[in-house]
Each structure stands twice: as structure tokens, then as C-alpha cells.
């Protein structure tokens, strides 16, 4: 649990540089240290001392089994977390009020149903086919554990499997005319998540093979919790284990995930109702609020009327940002907590307080708004680059480049056009982060982060919609003639 509801006095929170976690520091509770955590650390220290005397301690094994990237904790927006720092929302309100005076009232006359005319059989089939890639990864790891595959052969099989995971669904989306943009986006999103999960699955099992099985078992047993059954390599290479990981709301694989003691039916039902409510709300507001603004923006974009383009951008900024906030809550809090509760997955830290006054830099926002992706990048991409001798600046730039690639992949392929707006938008975060961190402080930097979110997203949306509109009209004209 991230906070103690019985604590008195003002709870102060300090910023933590997440990328400094490469030093191996444990994640601390957000609102104070409990005696249980202190005792746990003491016991782990004693265990390390004993293992050193026996000659069984190895720092890399300690990294795998001790420095776990998951622990049992509640999400910040859950009432049980004890979190109450929402001061950053004030800056958001100020920015939104400034945008409001430019005119954001839209008369939702048209109710448009987008992308619902075509059959969705292709997306369903592609999601079913994704099971083949899961089984190939499991089969490869089993062969590696038995010595039937050499490390080189196993690495090549994994690379081919992961490469096909990205190219195969993209080819189907591009070549099948009946595949809608919404269906294509769902398919590619599913395959992207599975790609990141299986990459983590490959890495963790490789780390386990690099160590002696006897030493790994001895260390894990010495630090195990009596109330939880431990799994040791290669006992984790089972159908049940890999499908639990694929279904769990995390991208980072572990042999032993933290588990909650039971399923809270009331909590589960509340999250389910939230999911249904926000889904209906998102669809309704998109149809009746955003689409009319986007449609009215096509003429100014075609005429390159700068003043009207700016006015349309400001009008689109408010509904787009509100929808983004509702999507954040509905996905990262409601749906992921629903899945975690159903699977008794203990680590509920899917996001941190990116909205508060601590979010004074663009880097802080990207490190805290999507914790599953941030953990994956830190564990499987950023730290490995540092260990290979790359500088922090180069490693951070590589992380943004990878994120930019997947953003473009998830937008351009479903729309069947390549404009690189999403890619350039993500790469532009690097100079923006430098500027905000160098020249702005306090509320000004926090407001700058909000403005970049409020203005940047609708600008990219307008660019993509305009290009899609032009491309569609050109195709209709070519077909007509």
C-alpha cells in the first residue's frame, strides 16, 4: 500500500529521478516508510550476509530476485492509497479557462457513426492468431532450458518471432481493404503490447539461464515469503504461467508476481461500471463534439488560412484534452485495476502523480503517466544501453526514438498513410524537455507541460485528419474517373 490512511500531519512528497534507479535503489512508499518495509530490508540484508559467507551471493542474481520491479500497492486514485495531493490540477484549470474564452462551445448537431460499417472479423482472427507467437516463445524457452537449442539459435528464433509479430499484422491491415482504421488500431495495439511482453519474457529467462540454478534456488528460497509459493526456473515455463503474464496488466515479466490476498467483488463491480460509463461517454463526446470541429477545420486547412486554423486548433484543444483525461482514467485506473483485481495482481502502480506541481518537466511527465511502459523501457532498453557504455543523453534519446516509432506505427499503419506527425511530435519532446528544464521553474514549468499536452495532441490530430481527408478524396476522384 502506497500510503498509511491513519497517518497525521501534512504528508510531504519528494521528487525522485526515476532514471537514477539504475543504481539499484528500491522503490519507496510515496507517503512515508512503514515498519514492515524496514523489517523486510533488514531481513534481506541478513540474507545477503549469510549468502556471502556461503559463497552463494551474486549481484546479478540479487538484481533478478531481490530488486523486483513489482510490489503489492494500490493505485494513486484509489481511496485506499491515502493520496491527496492534487495541487497540479489548479494549473490545469487555469490553462483550460484561458482556452475557454477563445470559444470552445460546439453545437453537437450531427451524430456520426465512424468505422462501423465494415465487418470486424479480421481483427478478431488476428487476435486469435496472436496465440501462435506466444506458444512459439514458450516452446523456444523450453528448448533452451533443456539445452536442445543453443543460445544463438534461441536468440534467432526469438528475433524472427518478434519481427513477424510487428510486420504480419501491419501487412494485413495495409493489404485488406475491409480492415477499418479502428479495427487496425486495435489489432496493432494488441500486437505491440504482446511484442513488449514477449521481449521481457525472453530477457528474464535468459538472465535466469546465465546463473547457476542451484544458486538461484538457494537465494530465492532464503528471501521467499512463507505465505506465497515460489516458482523457480525452469519451473516457470508453463502454459499457465505465460498466459497469466500475457493477461496481467504489466509489460515486465517476473517468475513470481506479487499477489493480492483475495478478489474484492465491490471493487471489481465499481471498476466495471466505470469502464462501461467512460466507454459510452468517450464515444458520445467524440461523435457529437470533436467530429463537427474536425469537419469544420478541413476548409481552413485546405485554404491555409492561418487565423482560422489557429481558431479551430484552440476549439479542438479543449474537447480533445478532456477526452484524453477520461481515457487516462478509464484505461489506466478503471480497466487495468479491473484486470488486476480479477487476476489478483498485487502491483497497482499503473501511474504516478504526473498532474501535480512536481510535474515541472516534460521528462517527469513521461516517466510517471504510463508506469508499465516506463518500467519496460527502464529495465529492458535504457539500463542495457547504459551497461554497454552509452551516455545517459544518448540512452534517453534512444528511448524517445523507440517510443516515437511505436506512436507512428500505431497511427500511420491503420490510416494507411505515412506522414510522420506522431514520430516528429514524440521526438520534439527532447528539445521541449531541455527548454522547459533550462528556462522555466515552478508553476510556469508545470503550466508549460500542460500547454504542450493540450495544444500538441489536437495539432497532430488535425494534421492526420486533414491528410486522411485529402487522401480519401483523391482516391474517390481516381475511382470516379
Q: What is the rounded (10 degree) CA torsion for 437, 440, 445, 451?
A: -100
323-350 b/e (C-beta count within 10 Å ≥ 16 → b)? beebebebbbbbbbbbebbebebbbbbb
Active-site positions? 407
List phi, psi (to 5°) of 166: -90, -35
CA distances from 325 to 104, 230, 405, 407, 459 (A): 17, 39, 23, 18, 17
Residue 412, number of CB atoms within 10 A of its CB = 20
The DSSP code for 121 is H
Q: At what angle do helices 265-285 and 306-328 cross, to 10 degrees?
A: 160
Q: At what angle do helices 181-209 and 392-415 cross, to 10 degrees?
A: 140
Handedness of CA 188, 194, 199, 200 (dihedral sign): positive
List, in order, residues 6 or more apart from 148 with CB less than 8 Å away: none
As beta bridge partners, residue 345 has 259
Amino acid at each position: 500500500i502506497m500510503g498509511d490512511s491513519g497517518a497525521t500531519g501534512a504528508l510531504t512528497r519528494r521528487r525522485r529521478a526515476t532514471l537514477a534507479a539504475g543504481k539499484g535503489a528500491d522503490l519507496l512508499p510515496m507517503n512515508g516508510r512503514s515498519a514492515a518495509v524496514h523489517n523486510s530490508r533488514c531481513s534481506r540484508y541478513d540474507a545477503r550476509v549469510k549468502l556471502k559467507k556461503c559463497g552463494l551471493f551474486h549481484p546479478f542474481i540479487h538484481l533478478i530476485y531481490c530488486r523486483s520491479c513489482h510490489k503489492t500497492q494500490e493505485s494513486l486514485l484509489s481511496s485506499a492509497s491515502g493520496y491527496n495531493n492534487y495541487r497540479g490540477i489548479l494549473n490545469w484549470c487555469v490553462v483550460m479557462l484561458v482556452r475557454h474564452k477563445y470559444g470552445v462551445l460546439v453545437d453537437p448537431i450531427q451524430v456520426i457513426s465512424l468505422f462501423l460499417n465494415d465487418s470486424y472479423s479480421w481483427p478478431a482472427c488476428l487476435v486469435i492468431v496472436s496465440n501462435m507467437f506466444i506458444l512459439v516463445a514458450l516452446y523456444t524457452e523450453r528448448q533452451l532450458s533443456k539445452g536442445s537449442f543453443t543460445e544463438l539459435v534461441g536468440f534467432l528464433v526469438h528475433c524472427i518471432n518478434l519481427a513477424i509479430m510487428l510486420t504480419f499484422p501491419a501487412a494485413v491491415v495495409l493489404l485488406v481493404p475491409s480492415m477499418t482504421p479502428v479495427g487496425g488500431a486495435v489489432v496493432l495495439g494488441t500486437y505491440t503490447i504482446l511484442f513488449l511482453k514477449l521481449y521481457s519474457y525472453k530477457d528474464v529467462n535468459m538472465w535466469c539461464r546465465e546463473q547457476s540454478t542451484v544458486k538461484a534456488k538457494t537465494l530465492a528460497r532464503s528471501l521467499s515469503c512463507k505465505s506465497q509459493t515460489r516458482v523457480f526456473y525452469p519451473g516457470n515455463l508453463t502454459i499457465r504461467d505465460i498466459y497469466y503474464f500475457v493477461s496481467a496488466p504489466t509489460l515486465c515479466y517476473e517468475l513470481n508476481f506479487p499477489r493480492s490476498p483475495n478478489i474484492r467483488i465491490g471493487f471489481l463491480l465499481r471498476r466495471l461500471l466505470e469502464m462501461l460509463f467512460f466507454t459510452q461517454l468517450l464515444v458520445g463526446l467524440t461523435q457529437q463534439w470533436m467530429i463537427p470541429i474536425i469537419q469544420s477545420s478541413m476548409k481552413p486547412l485546405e485554404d491555409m488560412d492561418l487565423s482560422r486554423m489557429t481558431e479551430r486548433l484552440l476549439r479542438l484543444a479543449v474537447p480533445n484534452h478532456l477526452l484524453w483525461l477520461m481515457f487516462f482514467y478509464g484505461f489506466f485506473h478503471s480497466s487495468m485495476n479491473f484486470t488486476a483485481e480479477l487476476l489478483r495482481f498485487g502491483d497497482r502502480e499503473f501511474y504516478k502523480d504526473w498532474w501535480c506541481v512536481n510535474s515541472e518537466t516534460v521528462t517527469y511527465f513521461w516517466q510517471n503517466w504510463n508506469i508499465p511502459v516506463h518500467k519496460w523501457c527502464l529495465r529492458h532498453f535504457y539500463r542495457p544501453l547504459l551497461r554497454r557504455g552509452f551516455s545517459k543523453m544518448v540512452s534517453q534519446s534512444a528511448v524517445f526514438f523507440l517510443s516515437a516509432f511505436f506512436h507512428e506505427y500505431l497511427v500511420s499503419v491503420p490510416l494507411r498513410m505515412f506522414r510522420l506527425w506522431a514520430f516528429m511530435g514524440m521526438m520534439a519532446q527532447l528539445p521541449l524537455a531541455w527548454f522547459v528544464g533550462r528556462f522555466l521553474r515552478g508553476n510556469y514549468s508545470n503550466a508549460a507541460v500542460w500547454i504542450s499536452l493540450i495544444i500538441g495532441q489536437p495539432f497532430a490530430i488535425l494534421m492526420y485528419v486533414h491528410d486522411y481527408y485529402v487522401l480519401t478524396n483523391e482516391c474517390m476522384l481516381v475511382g470516379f474517373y
